[in-house]
Amino acid sequence: MSQGDCIVGLDIGTTKICAIIGEYNDNNMLEITGVGIAPSRGLRRGVIINIETTVKSILNAVEAAEMMSGREIESVHTGLAGGNIEGINSKGVVAVTGKGREITKEDVDRVVDAARAIPIPMDREVIHMIPQEFIVDDQGGIKNPIGMIGVRLEAEVHIITAAVTSAQNIVKSVNRAGFKVQNIILEPLASAKAVLSGDEKELGTVLVDLGGGTTDILLYKEGSPYYTDIIPLGGEQVTSDISIMLKTPVDAAENIKLKSGCCYIDLIQGDEEVFIPGIGGRPPRRMMKKDLVEIIQPRVSEILTMVKEKIENKGYLKFLGGGVVLTGGGSLLPGITELAMNIFDLPVRVGYPIKCGGLVEEYNNPMFSTGIGLVLYGAAQQESGTRLKSRDKQSVFKSVIERMKDWFKEFI
């Protein structure tokens, strides 16, 4: 891969739009060289409702990242979220037809196509289709069956679909801002790439991405995604609660949340106070911090409880040996780890994006997990493409194996 290659992740969120620029240095190592962030005004609960406003926010975020990196952006890998996302587990079965009953790439392609053959409404499209495991003659737990001998091949896959219009509006907004969309990636998948370890995915872990307008859920079991869901509640609802209860503007409520917020009453000392700015010429006032927590904690508890109930209803709670990983801007709220541990009765940690080098201090924050994950996703795809260009130097068999390895590692 050439040293000058530039990879851009564009996280289009409900409350913020974030652009992350990654480049390869002289040692061919990926570094983050630009981080841009802008307020997002054109989305509601992860879905675009105003394209013109969204375009302006995209331009502001990208321009800030370009100024920091000194590079001019042409294309991006962008994320997709919102309440229209749906994850489905499906299964396909085929007979092995290769010579000597040896499983080939063609057999794998056929069985995955068979798993994909489920009725999908016309207004929805498949965003991702991720193999979970393959089963050869009743022997399960196989990640890559190519080269094995068998008669019957089964595939279990996780299919993620979204409303066609949601994806189209994302692409339209990015195009109108003057950029090309290279990939649309489910945002929790991108976040998982940035914050979850391979061991956590194998042990069974649920990633909870606490955004401004939505809370995204992605559950891994035995190394693969098994459950995807979106809750249409996020940090905006916490801010709204503060605004209503304290009779203060939303911007002031957001500042109060960021500076003095906490969501676990046991962490508060009895005499702690919070400063509430005055509006309309009224004087500022003070309130007990525990009273502020009593506004915030019920809403955060509601969101986390909804996450737990959804996982419990699917029967996956018992598989979470790796516990719960919280990420996104909402995971920075003091007390959220303790509250989540009480609700889930599982180990809980806050997920920070892995350090890629470059401007570490600029992106070492859970609110950038999705953006960093989008860059990592783009880098993995670019590396795969570079290796495939050199396939004439390999035997045909080795080339097939390399392509399959890239496929299976796509979400590791």
Which domain CATH number covers 260? 3.90.640.10
- Structure tokens that stand for 102 in this block: 């040896």
* Overall domain count for the chain: 2
Residue-level pLDDT at 175: 94
Place of tokens 């996703």: 377
The radius of gyration of the chain's CA atoms, rounded to the nearest angstrom, is 23
Query: Domain for residue 38, yes or no?
Result: no
Sign of CA dihedral 43, 45, 47, 49: negative
Q: DSSP 3-state assignment of 266?
A: helix
Query: Domain for residue 205, yes or no?
Result: no
> Which residues are registered as beta bridge partners of 208?
217, 326
Query: Domain for residue 10, yes or no?
Result: no
In the chain, which residues have pLDDT < 70?
1-4, 83, 384-412
Query: Domain for residue 110, yes or no?
Result: yes
Looking at 275, 299, 323, the residue that finishes a domain is 299
Alpha-carbon distance 32 to 276, whole Å?
A: 38
Residue-level pLDDT at 47: 78
Residue-level pLDDT at 281: 74
pTM: 0.86
Domain that holds residue 114: 86-163
pLDDT tens digit sequence for 39-75: 888 888 777 888 889 999 999 999 999 999 999 999 9
Query: Domain for residue 284, yes or no?
Result: yes
Residue-level pLDDT at 403: 41
What is the DSSP track for 185-209? Answer: EEHHHHHHHHH--HHHHHH-EEEEE
Residue-level pLDDT at 355: 84
Backbone torsion region of residue 172, taken as left when φ is above 0, otherwise alpha when ψ lies between -120 and 50, otherwise beta: alpha
Query: Domain for residue 271, yes or no?
Result: yes
**Residue 311 CB partners (closer than 8 Å, separation 6+):** 206, 217, 219, 227, 317, 320
Looking at 139, 163, 187, the residue that finishes a domain is 163
End-to-end, the C-alpha distance of the chain in Å comes to 21
Looking at 163, 188, 220, the residue that finishes a domain is 163
Query: Domain for residue 277, yes or no?
Result: yes
The CATH number linked to 134 is 3.30.1490.110
Query: Domain for residue 288, yes or no?
Result: yes
